[in-house]
Amino acid sequence: MNLDEAQRRQVAQWVEQGLKLSEIQDRLAAELGLRLTYMEVRLLVDDLRLTPKDAERPKPGAVTLPGPAANTPANPAARPAPTPPGAVPAKSAGVSVTVDQVARPGTMVSGKVTFSDGNSAEWYFDQMGRLGLVPQKPGYRPPAADMQQFQMSLESELSKLGF
Q: What is the 3-state secondary structure (H, E, C) of 83-121?
A: CCCCCCCCCCCCEEEEECCCCCCCEEEEEEEECCCCCEE
Report pLDDT digits (tens) over 35-47.
Answer: 889 888 888 888 8
Count of other CB atoms within 10 angstroms of residue 5: 7
Position 94 pLDDT exceeds 50: yes
Top pLDDT among 17 and 55 is at 17
- Residue in 9, 38, 34, 10 with CA at minimum distance from that of residue 23: 38
Q: Is the whole-model pTM more than 0.85? A: no
pLDDT band at 120 (very low <50, low <70, confident <90, very high): very high
76 pLDDT more than 80: no
Q: Does pLDDT of 65 surpass 50?
A: no
Span 45-53, average pLDDT = 83
The reported pLDDT for the residue numbered 66 is 47
pLDDT at 73 (0 to 100): 46
Share of the chain above pLDDT 90, in %: 23
pLDDT value of residue 58: 53
Euclidean distance between CA atoms 148 and 83, whole angstroms: 19
Are the C-beta atoms of residues 29 and 35 closer than 8 Å to each other? Answer: yes
- Asked whether the predicted pLDDT for residue 7 surpasses 80, the reply is yes
Provide DSSP, 33-75. Answer: -----HHHHHHHHHHTT--PPPPPPPPP-EEEEPPGGGG-TT-
pLDDT mean across residues, the chain:
78
